[in-house]
Amino acid sequence: MFAGLPGGLVKCNPQINGTPEGVTVLKNYCLLQPGFVYQGNFFLFSRSNFSISHLKAVVAIPFMLCLQRIIFTGCIILTAVISFSESSIAEQSPVRSETAYSIPPYLQRLLPHQLINFLAHSIAEKRWPWLKNHLISEFTVRNNIDMSEALHENPENYQNFNDFFTRALKKGARPFPEDPDLIISPVDGTISQMGAIENGRIFQAKQHNYCLSALFAGNNQLASRFKHGLFITIYLSPGDYHRVHMPTSGTLRQMIYVPGSLYSVNAETTGDIEGLYARNERVINIFETAYGEMAVIMVGAMVVGSMETVWAGSVKPTSRQITWQNYINKPVHLERGDEMGRFKLGSTVIVLFASPELGWLEHHQPDNKIKMGTAIGSVLD
């Protein structure tokens, strides 16, 4: 029958119990008394005794909650910017350098990720000269960015902060190995983890690993093809070059957009939140290569405005549902080193190979900095 709930609500099944007279049913909850009650994100109210005062409250409550979240988010972003400008953790490791604008993982769980990203993206897209020039100037100094590598060296030549952040490099700034069979790093960044995929699971950090099927949004068939393969996870700090390139020549077969959370992907968060990369928003790109199947996965993160690919542009469906797009009948072929996508603000790239006959070069280890174009793998002897 009916199970009593707080606030004058009962949980019911209208198909079995029927709907009591004068009661509005919403999300399988029934209101027993006239008036209304706020429950989570829904307003429940009866058909009788509904007045203008009730209507004002219905409008006022979500407005105040939204305003509260915006103010709270603004404070968090301000705190992050201050930390971003005033602290660096380069001295913590001789091989790893990144700017510390980290928000503690426990606080990240409470934050409105999508709202933060929307606000950050909006600011980064502004073309106000005073704003974008100040942001670019401060960012360049704090992150020791070598603008002599950039195609456009003058920071004032960029339309907005995102235009600067996704800047192109001069030809030859990232040389490739002469051996065409070597696999190269797709990005500038820091190696988080690398190795073999063991029993369909990928090592994340410390005691954490995650399921390959979860990374592929529950596609067990796709996961089974990579379960004995190879993986490398590369973290892009804010100061890194943020275009993503092809590790080897390949033909695009499928692109999958997976909505999700937007936790930070820095070392502290990856060590704290289990299955982080399988939780966050991501774009999975499946290629056919001379070595078999390859997946290049672009993982979103907090304050990442958007992800783009050269064949689809900005990848941000409004439906927030898993989206599959096949390219078998309209193939996109890219050579080794060709640009395939970019991040608007920092994140992580995961590269998977299905073939167990490949191996990573031994001199690369987790926490090592790496440049796009550096040889990272080859066929095993």
Mark whether 213 is an active-site residue: no
CB atoms within 10 A of CB 339: 15
CA–CA–CA angle 220, 332, 202 (5° rounding): 30
Query: Please, are residues 138 and 94 in contact by the beta-carbon 8 Å criterion?
Result: no
Distance (Å, whole) CA 15 – CA 278: 37
Q: What is the pLDDT along the chain (381 residues), one digit of tens a residue?
A: 333 333 333 344 444 444 444 444 443 333 333 333 333 333 444 444 445 555 555 555 565 556 555 555 555 554 444 444 333 333 333 333 344 445 555 455 555 555 666 666 667 677 788 888 888 888 888 888 899 999 999 988 888 888 888 899 999 999 999 999 999 999 999 999 999 998 888 876 656 778 899 899 889 999 999 999 999 999 888 889 999 999 999 999 999 998 877 665 556 555 556 667 778 888 999 999 999 999 999 988 655 557 899 999 988 766 778 999 999 888 899 999 999 999 876 688 999 999 989 999 999 999 999 999 999 999 987
How many DSSP H helices and E strands does the chain contain? 10, 24
Mark whether 240 is an active-site residue: no
Mark whether 381 is an active-site residue: no
Q: What pLDDT does 189 receive?
A: 93
Helix, strand or coil, per DSSP, at residue 201: strand
Residue type, 48: S
Domain positions in the chain are 3-45, 77-165, 183-379
Residue type, 126: K
> What backbone torsions phi and psi does residue 161 show, to the nearest 5 degrees?
-65, -40
Of 298, 300, 289, nearest in space to 351 by CA:
298
Residues in the chain: 381
Structure tokens given for 296:
């290049």
Distance (Å, whole) CA 225 – CA 241: 31
Helix, strand or coil, per DSSP, at residue 30: strand
Q: In the Cβ-directed half-sphere of 219, how many Cα atoms lie within 13 Å? A: 16
Residue entry with tokens 């907005």: 160
Phi-psi group of 277: left, alpha or beta (phi > 0 → left; psi -120 to 50 → alpha; rest → beta) = alpha
Helix, strand or coil, per DSSP, at residue 129: helix
Distance (Å, whole) CA 193 – CA 123: 32
Strands 313-314 and 323-326: unpaired
Residue type, 137: S
Catalytic residue selected from 113, 240, 245, 264: 245
Distance (Å, whole) CA 158 – CA 122: 16
CA-CA-CA-CA torsion for 67, 69, 73, 75, nearest 10 degrees? 70
What one-character DSSP code corresponds to residue 200?
A: T
Catalytic residue selected from 46, 97, 188, 237: 188
The pTM of this model reads 0.70
Distance (Å, whole) CA 194 – CA 202: 9
Instruction: Write the DSSP assignment of 96-165 as a string of letters.
Output: ---B--PPPHHHHTTS-HHHHHHHHHHHHH---HHHHHHHHHHHHHHTT--GGGBSS--GGGSSSHHHHH
